[in-house]
Structure 1
Amino acid sequence: MGKGYSATIAANPYIVGSFACIGGGLFGLDISSMSGVLSNEAYISTFKKPDANAQGAIVAAMPAGSLVGALAVTHLADKIGRRKTIILGGMIWVLGSILQCASVNRGMLVVGRVISGISVGLSSAVVPIYQSEITAPHIRGRMVSLQQWSITWGILIQYFIQFGCSYLAGTASFRIPWGLQMIPAIILSLGMLFFPESPRWLLDHGQEHEALQVLADLHGGGNLSDPLVVAEFEEIKEQVYFERTQGAKSYADLFKGGNPRRVFLGCALQAWSQLTGMNVMMYYIIYVFQGAGLTGRRANLIADSVQYVLNVAFTVPAIIFIDKWGRRPMLLVGLLLMGTFLFLVGGLQGRFGHWVYPVDDPTNGQWLVEGHEGITKAIIVFSYLFVCSFAITMGPVSWTYPAELYSLKVRGKAVSLATATNWLFNFSLAWAVPPALAQIAWKTYFIFGTFNFAAFVHVFFMYPETVGLSLEEIEDLFQQGNVFTAWNIKRRPGVRTVAEKSHAETDSNTDKASA
């Protein structure tokens, strides 16, 4: 029996993989912890009425810390293990939440958000690695996509807490939600003590018996002789030995063999996930709906909450069918839809909106749609459809695909680099979007819409399908080359899946028994 976890709990891979997703939920908590206070008078007063640039900097502080955290995973995930890195991430989040809750000025708030961001960076990079390494190939996409679902739940739960607390007087309206967000992190850090380490990490560190036991608990009901468990164990062991003899694990390995292409694909996909404009709709949805002509703080909060509910609901079909639909079709369809809806939002705002300047500040204008109730509703609906399109396609795939691209030798570093790319673009856009909305208004949506169509072209030509393949089969797939014919890559003759190997093992055992 492996040490340090409960075999009873570990017997269910869905429980193991989904519990780790609380780490992704921390990111969701942060998104709505900001979007829910943008119109809060107590928040505005306490932090001296931040202008567009200052508010962008406050929001961007979290992804700045996440960039640091994601890069730290390159060392931590390989050094101390996937499980302990997740536990550490939860502990850091608690510290950041305490500082945010107690903030009395912008500087203290920014420091708290940077620390929380480090936690999110650690969790967002290591959780997909952990999930991909403890699940069987036929459910791997479903499990890793739970990371995105947990983000949507974090957004939704925190937003409704913000909504409820907005009726409280004074700074309690935002301090209570910021304080409560440490509870999931405490649960995550304590709960992970009862879950197993990644079997691939254990094998890579010479703990073969523990690795076999974890695989048996997860995939064979505790049976060490289960054909699927034996086949999977031998395949991982063979791969680990091969990679260990090819050289030390270092950044240089990211630029050897077929790795550069895969590193670029993982980083580019995470960048595209930000350039779709989704986090604009999450962080700054209040600004978006205000510009569309939705008046009244209560009406705006309710409209925002509908969007967050849709985000949760439409991620469910993706989780259920991601291993049936495939990665490529989901990406291609989603990018086309998102680009179209953003152009519709931008077009309607550009056609029916105009600049409105406050009497006391003729230089600080806002682009508004006024006197067109039908257009306001249409913009809101297209915004909802955009969010639904992301939730059912790009959202879960952007976490699943990078987690299954790489060999064990570079997986920790490559996934963390891809996730760091996510946070780099998140940081840039979080800071840039408020000034963009204030300066070029509706044209901002055209920029993000164009990014979606550019991403469609990139995915079509360069992203091969990986659904249903083991991590080791994917290694073989990328040895074929075919850089610009991603739609036409086939498995090479003689390469067997884990399922085929397990069937062969079963037939062999049957023949021996008959003999």
Structure 2
Amino acid sequence: MPTSESIESHAAVSPPHNGTHRLWWRDQGLRRLSPHLFVLLLGSFVCGYDGSVLNAAFGIEDFLKDMNDPDSNKQGLLSAAISLGYLIGFFPSSWAGDKWGRKWPQLAGSAIVVGACFMQVFAISGWKFFGARILIGFGAAFPLTLGSTHLFELAHPRQAAQMVTLFAAFYWIGAITAAWCTFGSTYMVSNWSWRLPSILQGVASAIQVVTLAWVPESPRWLCAQGRTEEAHRILSTYHANGDMDDELVQTEMAEITTALELEKKSSFGYLDFLRSGPNRHRLFICIWVGIIVQWVGNGIISYYLVPILESVGISGTVQQQGLNGGLQIFNLCVSIVGVVYIQHVPRRTMWLGSTVAMLVTYSMFTAASAVFERNGDPNAGRAAVAMIFLYNGCYDLSYSILYYSYVLEVLPYHMRTKGMALSLFFDYGLFFNQYVNPIAFNAIGYRYYYVYIGMICVSFFVIYFTFPETSGMTLEQAAAVLDGDAKTRIEIAGQVAAETVEDEVSDGEKALDINSVEVLGR
């Protein structure tokens, strides 16, 4: 596994000079870039909002009445509906992102979400609500699949990893907004106690509809379309305050064009994931990350917190909603800590350390739930609630914030949207997880948690033996780790950038060192 070699190779090459201030808020270009990045971050908001708002809605009597008093089977269907919509939308969003760019498909998807939210609000029956949620999931799949990719490809290199982990953290901002909106609406005496939080679900998408047209397109997508001068101008404007000859910008363009030149040798489809060892490794990582982010115990807590709290003796609606809101704030705070320190901690350390901590806290949560079920000890119930918070904190430090960034880091440009769509497909495609959770929980209680304890153990060994280290690299360098040529790509990019500056190419595009490209291709 090329983990230590990749780090040593990268460390041996000095970073290119860049004429931006180290503090982004004191740099004009980075300040201008920040509002665009914020718009892209909203793509994760809808997902987090939905998980929390429906969790809270199951504790509102008016909602249950309007949904015809759904049993555990119907509750599972209502929860899984949005995942079914995501499942339908991921592959079309990947195709649209490669064909028409990153931003316009996101805008179209957000418009669908806005319309579906209005349908959801006025769907006064279980099956109409179910259909509206499927449509929300379909539309939200576009900004979820393409937003993380667009963010990674547009952000300044020293901010890219933090921005994509912040994309994951915006899930919790959505969850917090939903939890506390629902907390306040529980005091309303009509069915607007659930309809108001439902309509607010479309606010973030409405902001995207209005603002995405002004967000710059991905420079990597522009280069892939032959629009290198436009890509160069965007990178220089936002990464170097308009300096077209900035060393970092030249290096970025060299890396992008070199990688794309290599990738032009053959078209890429989903079956190409199976045609080489490195690609099969990437495929496995995409699929496994998509699975484990839902199958390590977090899914049942995210969507069925109210029944869990009732199982440990917390049955008051206000108390349940307050704990739900407090948990989302806690999740956000821990995620922000992870975002701040992601550049200082190796990826494998974060994955493995978090998994061990999750195993300990989830086991203690299971034990406390078992004690409460057997003898009704209120102290055991309080201990179970405390373990829910600690477990979520451990989950947030890797599985939550690293999901998008790590998958994108191991994928080269031509595989990026397809790989992200595959990972999200296995994430949300396993929506039967949400469907079976209430049924299994009602049938066997805390014993159902043993399944997730086993999955956490499996996850540890899979991560240990298959996840490479990608910390401290640019997007192109990290993508080359599994091919074993990260160092060569860095050296070629530096050589091409230097030659470009010296020769002052008149048309503003980077000159490719074709001989170097051919060597790297071999």
TM-score (norm 1): 0.88
Following the alignment from structure 1 to structure 2, what is the Cα–Cα distance between the partners of residues 292 and 501? 63
Correspondent of 1:384 among 382, 389, 413: 389
Partner Cα distance (1:219, 1:446) in 2? 49
The residue aligned with 1:5 is none
Within a 5 Å distance, the mapping from 1:118-197 to structure 2 comes to 118-197=138-217
SS state of the match for residue 275, structure 1? coil
State whether structure 2 residue 482 is matched by structure 1 residue 462: no
- Contact map agreement 2:305 2:324 (CA 8 A) in 1: yes
Q: Secondary structure at the match of 1:337?
A: helix
Match of 2:70 in 1: 50
Letter in 2 for 1:164: G
Partner of 2:373: 353
Distance 1:184 1:413 in 2: 25
Question: Match for residue 269 of structure 2?
Answer: 250
Task: For 2:391, give the aligned amino acid.
Answer: F
Equivalent residue for 2:355, pick from 332, 335, 347: 335
> Is the CA contact (8 Å cut-off) linking 1:137 and 1:468 kept in structure 2?
no
Partner of 1:397: 402
Please name the residue that 1:28 is paired with.
48
**1:86 aligned to 2:117?**
no
**2-side partners of 1:264 and 1:49: how far apart?**
41
Please state if 1:432 is matched with 2:426.
no
2:230 matched to which residue of 1? 210
Q: Where do 5+ consecutive residues of structure 1 fail to align? A: 1-7, 355-368, 481-490, 511-515
Determine if contact 1:10/1:196 at 8 Å carries over to the other structure: no
How far off its partner does 1:472 sit?
Answer: 2.1
Cα contact 2:251–2:494 (8 A) shared by 1: no
Per the alignment, residue 375 of structure 1 pairs with 380
Partner SS, residue 401 of structure 2: helix
TM-score by length of 2: 0.87
Contact 1:11/1:217 (CA < 8 Å) preserved in 2? no
Contact persistence 1:330–1:394 (CA under 8 A): no
- Give the letter aligned to residue 251 of structure 2: A
Question: What CA deviation, in whole Å up to 9, does each residue of 1:46-85 have, x standing for no partner?
Answer: 1111111110001000011011111212211101111112
CA RMSD of aligned residues (A): 2.2
Q: Displacement of 1:498 after TM fit?
A: 9.4
Separation in structure 2 between the aligned mates of residue 497 and residue 276 of structure 1, nearest angstrom: 40
Give CA deviations for 1:447-482 in whole Å, capped at 9, x if unaligned: 1122112101100110011112122223432113xx
How many residues in Structure 1 have an aligned counterpart in Structure 2? 476
Partners in 2 of 1:414 and 1:221 — Cα distance? Answer: 33
Q: Return the letter of the residue paired with 2:137.
A: G
1:452 matched residue in structure 2: 456
Determine the C-alpha separation between the residues in 2 that align with 1:264 and 1:142: 24
The Cα of 1:10 is off from its aligned counterpart by 7.6
Report if the CA contact (8 A) 2:254-2:497 is conserved. Answer: no
**Other structure's SS at 2:490 match:** coil
How far residue 19 of structure 1 moved from its aligned partner, in angstroms, is: 2.2
Q: Offset of 1:17 from its aligned partner?
A: 2.5
Give the Cα–Cα distance (whole angstroms) in 2 for the partners of residues 195 and 280 of structure 1: 36
The one-letter code matched in structure 2 to 1:249 is F
- Give the deviation of 1:120 after TM superposition: 2.3
The percent identity for this pair of structures is 22
Amino acid at match of 1:406: L
- Does the C-alpha gap of structure 1 residues 222 and 296 become closer, same or farther in structure 2, counting only changes over 3 Å? same
Read off the aligned partner of 1:382 and give its amino acid letter.
Answer: M
